[in-house]
Amino acid sequence: MSGFSPAEAVAVIPARGGSKGVPGKNVAPVGGVPLVARAVAAALGAGIADVRVSTDDARIAEAARAAGAGVIERPADLAGDTATSEAALLHALDVLAAEGVEPEVLVFLQATSPFIESGPLSRAVQRVLDGAADSVLAAFETYAFLWRRSGAGATGVNHDASFRPRRQDREPHFQETGAFYVLRASGFREARFRFFGRVAIEPVSAARAVEIDDAHELALARTLAPVFDDVPRHLPVDALVTDFDGVHTDDAALASGDGSEAVRVHRGDGLGVERLRAAGVPMLILSKERNGVVAARGAKLRVPVLQAVDDKATALSAWLAEQGVDPARCAYVGNDVNDLSAMALVGWPVAVADAHPAVQRAARLVLRNRGGHGAVREAAELVLASRNRKEEA
């Protein structure tokens, strides 16, 4: 995909911190990635070299920078509930101009649309650059019969209620998604509104047109993420941390009369761990339980173990600091809800195939293998694959 220079196009993602419907919405993870970072990735994937996030919030700014975007500090008077997106965009253009950057095209993306496709976005930018349109919006084709309330009854909006033509005999309408708007910058400055001049539609997938305004839509997006996300089957990390029960085991135990327990493990996991050790990748088993079998398995694998840990995030943070590993470059493999705090800390939260639904929703990558059935071996191979790609590059 060809790229667009800052003179051609700059993407701006307005993302204020004061969301009330879903507090912290713009950094809420979907597929393990903050929403604002997903929007940044879509813009970069479309070939837009200069991507900025306009925000008043430190957490959003941090996530934006980590994703590869620049940050425009939004003044307080443009960050309230009544502030418009247009006001934030005009402010961003002023900041860019002060830096000597005056793009021909302004690309406006909304972080609340988690499944923005880079292909249609790139095409929309090119249409404005080519002079085919002044304003391009993302919309999907619909043949829905629309109605409006009329007194105590209802009347058809886009159809005659007395006649129901077949789909193939109807003219489609297009529903705006809110995902992106591509604007000729000079025309937008003059109009001060996103629709001006020659307005055109860039068709996008209806299935991906999820817009997050409440907790139910956020839950829906997290459910859909494994379907739509093109997640690389490798783990570009410098450390691997795992839970024990449900990851190294199938979460079952054989309990004897004296209170001792035995668990089932996978021999292939041991070979995967051995290969990671040989590659110099730090590893840790982090378990809530205190059980001799955990320590014994860790000793067998020659992997350090932290047991009886109630606050996994704090323990993991301390271990990463000791190892000198950036949390963004760590993978944590979990299976149940007590793993969620640790998963939220790292750049690569990973779930085993049979993990709790909440853990799968929080994961950036869901393994193909179940806990105790080669999940650790799979994670180890994905880390090694990433290291091999880096060495080959």
Position 212 pLDDT exceeds 70? yes
Nearest alpha carbon to residue 101 among 35, 232, 8:
8
Position 1 pLDDT exceeds 50? no
Domain borders along the chain are: 9-228, 239-392
- Tell me the pLDDT tens digit for each residue of 314-359: 999 999 999 999 999 999 999 999 999 999 999 999 999 999 988 9
CA distances from 249 to 306, 370, 371, 380, 383 (A): 17, 9, 5, 16, 20
Q: Are strands 348-351 and 330-334 parallel, antiparallel or unpaired?
A: parallel
Query: In 10 A of CB 150, how many CB atoms?
Result: 9
Phi first, then psi, for residue 317 (nearest 5°) are -60, -45
Task: Give the pLDDT confidence score for residue 390 in this predicted structure.
Answer: 65
- Tell me the pLDDT tens digit for each residue of 242-282: 999 999 999 887 777 676 778 888 999 999 999 999 999 99
Give the fold, CATH level 3, of 239-392: Rossmann fold (3.40.50)
| Angle CA 315–319–325, to nearest 5 | 135
Position 290 pLDDT exceeds 90? no
Report whether CATH 3.40.50.10860 matches the domain 9-228. Answer: no
More confident residue, 25 or 80: 25
Rounded-to-integer distance, Cα 353 and Cα 336, Å: 11
Crossing angle (nearest 10°) for helices 118-129 and 35-45: 50
Position 132 pLDDT exceeds 90? yes
Residue 386 CB-half CA count within 13 A: 21
The model's confidence at residue 170, banded by pLDDT at 50, 70 and 90, is: confident
CB 287 within 8 A of CB 309: yes
The model's confidence at residue 231, banded by pLDDT at 50, 70 and 90, is: low
More confident residue, 19 or 51: 51
Quote the DSSP letter at residue 71: E
- Tell me the pLDDT tens digit for each residue of 28-75: 888 878 999 999 999 999 999 999 999 999 999 999 998 999 999 999
| Strand ranges for 57-158 from DSSP E | 70-73, 105-109, 135-142, 147-150, 153-156
CB 351 within 8 A of CB 367: yes
| Angle CA 71–75–80, to nearest 5 | 110
Handedness of CA 238, 302, 244, 310 (dihedral sign): negative
Quote the DSSP letter at residue 4: B
Tell me the pTM.
0.74
